Copies of this chain bind each other. A is one copy, B any other.
Amino acid sequence: MNQVLPDRSSLKNYGITKTFKAGDEIVSEDAPVQSIPIVLRGSLKVMQSDDEFREMVMYYLQPGETCVMSFLAALYNDTSKVKAVAEEETEVVFIPIGKMRELMSKDPKWLNYVFQIYHKRFEELLDVVNAIAFKKMDERLLQFLEKKAEVSGSRDIKITHEQLGQELSTAREVISRLLKQMENEGLVELGRNRITLTSRS
Protein backbone atom coordinates (compact mmCIF):
# COMPACT_ATOMS: atom_id res chain seq x y z
CA MET A 1 0.00 0.00 0.00
CA ASN A 2 2.75 2.44 0.86
CA GLN A 3 4.56 1.75 -2.35
CA VAL A 4 1.63 3.37 -4.08
CA LEU A 5 2.96 6.83 -3.49
CA PRO A 6 4.42 7.92 -6.78
CA ASP A 7 7.92 9.19 -6.63
CA ARG A 8 8.43 9.17 -2.91
CA SER A 9 12.06 10.18 -3.08
CA SER A 10 11.36 13.56 -4.63
CA LEU A 11 8.51 14.38 -2.30
CA LYS A 12 10.62 16.82 -0.39
CA ASN A 13 10.93 19.02 -3.46
CA TYR A 14 7.22 19.66 -3.54
CA GLY A 15 6.88 21.27 -0.16
CA ILE A 16 8.36 22.10 3.18
CA THR A 17 9.60 19.32 5.43
CA LYS A 18 9.33 19.56 9.18
CA THR A 19 10.23 17.25 12.02
CA PHE A 20 8.03 16.84 15.08
CA LYS A 21 8.55 15.33 18.48
CA ALA A 22 6.16 12.87 20.10
CA GLY A 23 3.12 14.75 21.30
CA ASP A 24 3.49 17.71 18.92
CA GLU A 25 0.33 18.85 17.20
CA ILE A 26 0.67 18.83 13.42
CA VAL A 27 -2.84 19.80 12.40
CA SER A 28 -5.23 21.60 14.74
CA GLU A 29 -8.96 21.46 14.94
CA ASP A 30 -10.78 24.31 13.22
CA ALA A 31 -7.59 25.55 11.65
CA PRO A 32 -7.74 26.43 7.96
CA VAL A 33 -5.71 24.10 5.80
CA GLN A 34 -3.61 25.16 2.85
CA SER A 35 -1.16 22.36 2.52
CA ILE A 36 -1.36 18.63 2.76
CA PRO A 37 0.80 16.75 5.23
CA ILE A 38 2.39 13.53 4.08
CA VAL A 39 4.23 11.44 6.63
CA LEU A 40 7.79 10.61 5.65
CA ARG A 41 8.97 8.92 8.83
CA GLY A 42 7.35 8.10 12.16
CA SER A 43 3.60 8.12 12.70
CA LEU A 44 0.70 10.39 13.53
CA LYS A 45 -2.58 9.78 15.23
CA VAL A 46 -5.60 11.59 13.91
CA MET A 47 -8.35 12.33 16.36
CA GLN A 48 -11.51 14.19 16.99
CA SER A 49 -12.26 15.97 20.22
CA ASP A 50 -15.29 17.06 22.10
CA ASP A 51 -15.32 20.26 24.12
CA GLU A 52 -11.56 20.21 24.37
CA PHE A 53 -11.70 17.60 27.13
CA ARG A 54 -12.51 14.22 25.73
CA GLU A 55 -11.02 12.98 22.53
CA MET A 56 -11.17 9.98 20.30
CA VAL A 57 -8.53 8.50 18.05
CA MET A 58 -9.77 7.75 14.57
CA TYR A 59 -6.76 6.33 12.81
CA TYR A 60 -3.01 6.43 12.44
CA LEU A 61 -0.93 7.74 9.56
CA GLN A 62 2.22 5.91 8.66
CA PRO A 63 5.03 6.77 6.29
CA GLY A 64 3.74 7.51 2.80
CA GLU A 65 0.27 8.32 4.01
CA THR A 66 -1.57 11.59 3.97
CA CYS A 67 -4.44 13.01 5.93
CA VAL A 68 -7.53 12.89 3.76
CA MET A 69 -9.34 15.26 6.04
CA SER A 70 -6.70 17.88 5.44
CA PHE A 71 -6.82 17.16 1.78
CA LEU A 72 -10.54 17.73 1.50
CA ALA A 73 -10.46 20.72 3.80
CA ALA A 74 -7.76 22.32 1.67
CA LEU A 75 -9.55 21.50 -1.56
CA TYR A 76 -12.66 23.30 -0.38
CA ASN A 77 -11.04 26.00 1.70
CA ASP A 78 -12.51 24.50 4.77
CA THR A 79 -11.10 24.09 8.26
CA SER A 80 -9.82 20.84 9.66
CA LYS A 81 -12.37 18.91 11.68
CA VAL A 82 -9.74 16.76 13.29
CA LYS A 83 -6.37 17.18 14.89
CA ALA A 84 -3.21 15.22 14.24
CA VAL A 85 -0.58 14.53 16.84
CA ALA A 86 2.82 12.89 16.46
CA GLU A 87 3.05 9.50 18.13
CA GLU A 88 6.81 9.45 17.97
CA GLU A 89 9.49 11.54 16.30
CA THR A 90 7.94 12.19 12.94
CA GLU A 91 8.99 13.84 9.72
CA VAL A 92 6.26 15.39 7.62
CA VAL A 93 6.31 17.14 4.27
CA PHE A 94 3.63 19.76 3.68
CA ILE A 95 2.59 20.02 0.06
CA PRO A 96 0.62 23.11 -0.95
CA ILE A 97 -2.81 22.29 -2.26
CA GLY A 98 -2.08 23.96 -5.60
CA LYS A 99 0.95 21.75 -6.16
CA MET A 100 -1.16 18.77 -5.18
CA ARG A 101 -3.81 19.63 -7.76
CA GLU A 102 -1.11 19.98 -10.37
CA LEU A 103 0.45 16.63 -9.50
CA MET A 104 -2.93 14.91 -9.60
CA SER A 105 -3.88 16.29 -12.98
CA LYS A 106 -0.51 15.57 -14.55
CA ASP A 107 0.06 12.12 -13.20
CA PRO A 108 -2.80 9.65 -12.74
CA LYS A 109 -0.63 7.82 -10.23
CA TRP A 110 -1.11 10.67 -7.82
CA LEU A 111 -4.85 10.52 -8.26
CA ASN A 112 -4.77 6.83 -7.67
CA TYR A 113 -2.68 7.38 -4.58
CA VAL A 114 -5.24 9.77 -3.14
CA PHE A 115 -8.09 7.39 -3.84
CA GLN A 116 -6.29 4.52 -2.19
CA ILE A 117 -5.66 6.52 0.93
CA TYR A 118 -9.34 7.44 0.94
CA HIS A 119 -10.28 3.85 0.72
CA LYS A 120 -8.11 2.92 3.65
CA ARG A 121 -9.25 5.78 5.82
CA PHE A 122 -12.92 5.15 5.15
CA GLU A 123 -12.56 1.58 6.19
CA GLU A 124 -10.77 2.58 9.34
CA LEU A 125 -13.45 5.11 10.16
CA LEU A 126 -16.05 2.42 9.69
CA ASP A 127 -14.11 0.22 12.08
CA VAL A 128 -14.12 2.98 14.65
CA VAL A 129 -17.86 3.46 14.28
CA ASN A 130 -18.31 -0.26 14.52
CA ALA A 131 -16.23 -0.46 17.67
CA ILE A 132 -17.84 2.37 19.57
CA ALA A 133 -21.33 1.48 18.41
CA PHE A 134 -21.29 -2.24 19.01
CA LYS A 135 -18.40 -3.26 21.20
CA LYS A 136 -17.75 -3.04 24.87
CA MET A 137 -14.76 -1.30 26.31
CA ASP A 138 -12.74 -4.45 26.99
CA GLU A 139 -12.84 -5.48 23.35
CA ARG A 140 -12.15 -1.95 22.17
CA LEU A 141 -9.17 -1.68 24.47
CA LEU A 142 -7.61 -4.88 23.22
CA GLN A 143 -8.23 -3.91 19.62
CA PHE A 144 -6.70 -0.51 20.28
CA LEU A 145 -3.59 -1.95 21.85
CA GLU A 146 -3.16 -4.31 18.92
CA LYS A 147 -3.38 -1.34 16.59
CA LYS A 148 -0.81 0.58 18.59
CA ALA A 149 1.49 -2.39 18.52
CA GLU A 150 1.08 -2.66 14.78
CA VAL A 151 1.74 1.00 14.15
CA SER A 152 4.76 1.19 16.43
CA GLY A 153 6.10 -2.17 15.34
CA SER A 154 6.45 -3.40 18.91
CA ARG A 155 4.20 -5.37 21.23
CA ASP A 156 5.68 -3.43 24.08
CA ILE A 157 3.62 -0.29 24.37
CA LYS A 158 4.79 2.75 26.26
CA ILE A 159 1.74 4.54 27.50
CA THR A 160 -0.09 5.42 30.69
CA HIS A 161 -3.60 4.34 31.58
CA GLU A 162 -4.54 8.00 31.65
CA GLN A 163 -3.50 8.45 28.04
CA LEU A 164 -5.29 5.31 26.95
CA GLY A 165 -8.40 6.62 28.65
CA GLN A 166 -8.10 9.84 26.69
CA GLU A 167 -7.62 8.16 23.36
CA LEU A 168 -10.54 5.81 23.86
CA SER A 169 -12.58 8.52 25.49
CA THR A 170 -13.15 6.81 28.81
CA ALA A 171 -11.90 7.14 32.39
CA ARG A 172 -8.52 6.05 33.60
CA GLU A 173 -10.06 3.82 36.26
CA VAL A 174 -11.94 1.91 33.60
CA ILE A 175 -8.72 1.27 31.71
CA SER A 176 -6.87 0.24 34.86
CA ARG A 177 -9.55 -2.23 35.84
CA LEU A 178 -9.85 -3.73 32.38
CA LEU A 179 -6.09 -4.04 32.02
CA LYS A 180 -5.88 -5.76 35.38
CA GLN A 181 -8.50 -8.19 34.24
CA MET A 182 -6.65 -8.77 30.97
CA GLU A 183 -3.48 -9.38 32.95
CA ASN A 184 -5.25 -12.04 34.99
CA GLU A 185 -6.37 -13.66 31.77
CA GLY A 186 -2.78 -13.66 30.57
CA LEU A 187 -3.41 -11.31 27.65
CA VAL A 188 -0.99 -8.62 28.76
CA GLU A 189 1.79 -7.90 31.17
CA LEU A 190 1.67 -4.62 33.00
CA GLY A 191 4.36 -2.29 34.18
CA ARG A 192 4.63 1.37 34.94
CA ASN A 193 4.15 3.29 31.68
CA ARG A 194 4.22 0.03 29.80
CA ILE A 195 1.87 -2.64 28.54
CA THR A 196 3.18 -5.73 26.84
CA LEU A 197 0.89 -7.76 24.65
CA THR A 198 1.60 -11.42 25.16
CA SER A 199 1.57 -13.89 22.32
CA ARG A 200 -1.83 -15.11 23.44
CA SER A 201 -3.58 -11.81 22.87
Contacts and interface: CB of A to CB of B under 8 A. Distances in A.
B122 A68 contact: yes
Contact of A134 (B50, B82, B130): B50
Contacts of A78: 119
A195 interface: no
Interface in A77-96: 78, 81-82
A116 B75 CA distance: 9
Contacts of A98: none
A28 to B, nearest CB: 15
A56 interface: yes
Contacts of A108: 105
A69 B105 contact: no
A46 to B, nearest CB: 11
Q: Which bracket fits the contact residues of A?
A: 20 to 34
Given A115-B72, A119-B76, A133-B169, A48 B126 contact: yes
A75 to B, nearest CB: 6
A68 B133 CA distance: 21
Contact of A169 (B50, B72, B119, B134): B134
Given A56-B129, A81-B126, 15 more contacts: A48-B126, A48-B130, A50-B134, A54-B134, A58-B129, A68-B122, A69-B122, A76-B116, A81-B123, A118-B118, A122-B122, A125-B125, A129-B129, A129-B132, A134-B169
Interface of A: 48, 50, 54, 56, 58, 68-69, 72, 75-76, 78, 81-82, 105, 108, 111, 115-116, 118-119, 122-123, 125-126, 128-130, 132-134, 169
